[in-house]
Amino acid sequence: MKTTLRPQLGQTLNLTPQLLQSIRLLQLTAQQLELELLQALEQNPMLERDEGEDVGETDTDAHDATAADSALDAGAWDELPEPAFLSGSGSGTPDGELDATARIAAGESTDPRMRLLERLALHWAPADLRLAAWWLDRCSDLGLLEEPRQALLAEGAQALGVDAGELEVIRQRLLHGEWPGMCAETAAECLLAQLARRPDTPPVLLARRIVAEALDALASGNVTALAARLGEDPARVAAAIAEIRALRPTPVDDAATPAAEHIIPDLVATFVGSEWRVALNDRALPRVRIAAHCERALASAPGDTSALRGLLDEARWLLRGIGMRNDTLLRTGHVLVRRQRGFLERGAEALAPLTLNEVAEEIGMHESTVSRVTSGKYIQTPRGVLELKQFFAVRLEGAEVSGNAVRAMVKRLIESEPPDAPLADETIAVLLARNGVRVARRTVAKYRDQLAIGPARSRMRAPSGGAPAEASR
């Protein structure tokens, strides 16, 4: 084996502490940033509150002026690296990645199916991952299949151009994978997948038999009758039932209702004249600056002042990071409001398809940067306080509208249907097609399920009034 030396030129991006701090500030919500600034004021004597002006909404022009003032206060920001890491160009990492910060987690999706796909992407082949995504798209929010397995196998084999057996293998891998029971056809199959991971102890073996043969009897809660049906001792049956009760009824737990908390909007959108304006909301954040008297005293101080100069550098890094965060947030807000003007003026049915990548290209930054700056951020609009993530919508396949817009259309049609003649899913699909939105009946059923609205037969009620008998999820 011969060892050789070969010169190679390349550009790399080192994630310095300053850059890491800027990335962290980018992800902070308004409440978190407020705590960060209050803590910095307590710990760093080089910082002081800026009480010179009334705080409020900072629009684009005022924001530019504030950024210029902050640059004068910070003084030596030019000694820090430029924020090229926020851009999608110029990093040139050896592995071909446009943005080194894309390797830093940007937070998990609120959709459990997306979180599972992100985990599977670490060790599944791309071809298998494509089939897994197809199966997960046919699952409800709780992880169970929305249609019979055989019908989905036939549909998937035709749509994906693969053998039905190969498609079933992927489903079995999901069923017995990281989230046992995922893509199960029935609750019994979900429970059996979870029991399959348990040791083969007598209670577990009997629990498998109960789920497979007598799940209907188990629901009655009569242990004696269940034991007689299975020909087992009631004590053993009780132990097996305890194993079953320790399982989850669905692969994905119901999303916990978040505790009520006070939301501070990061941006404010107002309609002035004939255009929309976006401004930063500075009302809840303390304004900080570098204490000029401390900086002057430090410049002429005798002796070793390295510790104080370190605090001064930290203050400058903090102000620069906040400035870049606010600038990125404001630019992103401008794009979102401009692209989703119809949504703000007419409602959810006018929500246009919009992706993180489209916004990133428009503001000249990386997609991961847009993801971080919009996570947990809110904007105050005439329609209320909205999360920035609500402005993004996936384009419905074969249509020029977003899935969220179609879901809003489905909700409007159901709300306006005759009480004694509720619309079936097929009818709703036909009505949407007349408006140029062609979706399958299965898609209508999926959106109806997401809205917690029962099928047509459960919505039937007398025309004189009465509450609809909606099926609870």
pLDDT tens per residue across span 359-397: 989 998 888 888 888 888 899 998 888 888 888 876 655
Q: What mean pLDDT is predicted for residues 23-49?
A: 84
pLDDT, residue 470, reads: 42
> Does residue 268 lie within any of the structural domains?
no
Range of the domain at 425: 403-459
pLDDT, residue 287, reads: 83
Q: What mean pLDDT is predicted for residues 259-266?
A: 70
Nearest to 280 by CA among 56, 122, 44: 56
- 218 and 241 belong to one structural domain: yes
> Does residue 158 lie within any of the structural domains?
yes
- 198 and 147 belong to one structural domain: no
> Does residue 440 lie within any of the structural domains?
yes
- 149 and 196 belong to one structural domain: no
Taking the CA atoms of residue 165, residue 166, residue 172 and residue 177 in that order, the dihedral angle to the nearest 10 degrees is 170
> Does residue 101 lie within any of the structural domains?
no
> Does residue 335 lie within any of the structural domains?
no
Q: Token pair for residue 227?
A: 């034991």
Mean confidence (pLDDT) of the chain = 77
Most confident of 102-116, 263-277, 435-449: 263-277
- 157 and 200 belong to one structural domain: no
pLDDT, residue 27, reads: 80
Q: Which residue has the tokens 């992103």?
A: 332
Q: pTM of the predicted model, to two decimals?
A: 0.52
- 162 and 208 belong to one structural domain: no
Residue 81 in this model has a pLDDT that exceeds 80: no
Give the burial class of 450: count Cβ atoms within 10 A of its Cβ; 0-12 exposed, 13-18 middle, 19 or more buried.
middle
167: pLDDT confidence band, cut at 50, 70 and 90?
Answer: very high
Residue 57 in this model has a pLDDT that exceeds 90: no
Cα–Cα separations (whole angstroms), residue 438 to 112, 159, 236, 352, 394? 27, 17, 55, 16, 15
Residue at which a domain ends, from 154, 175, 196: 175
Return the minimum-mean-pLDDT range out of 118-122, 368-372, 460-464.
460-464
How far apart, in whole angstroms, are the C-alpha atoms of residue 31 and residue 19?
A: 22
CATH code of residue 417: 1.10.10.60
- 191 and 170 belong to one structural domain: no
Please give the residue that has the higher pLDDT: either 124 or 220: 124
- 238 and 192 belong to one structural domain: yes
Return the minimum-mean-pLDDT range out of 33-42, 144-153, 447-456.
447-456
> Does residue 254 lie within any of the structural domains?
no
- 161 and 192 belong to one structural domain: no
CB 18 within 8 A of CB 80: yes
> Does residue 414 lie within any of the structural domains?
yes
Terminal-to-terminal C-alpha distance of the chain: 66
Domains in the chain, number = 3
> Does residue 104 lie within any of the structural domains?
no
- 118 and 171 belong to one structural domain: yes
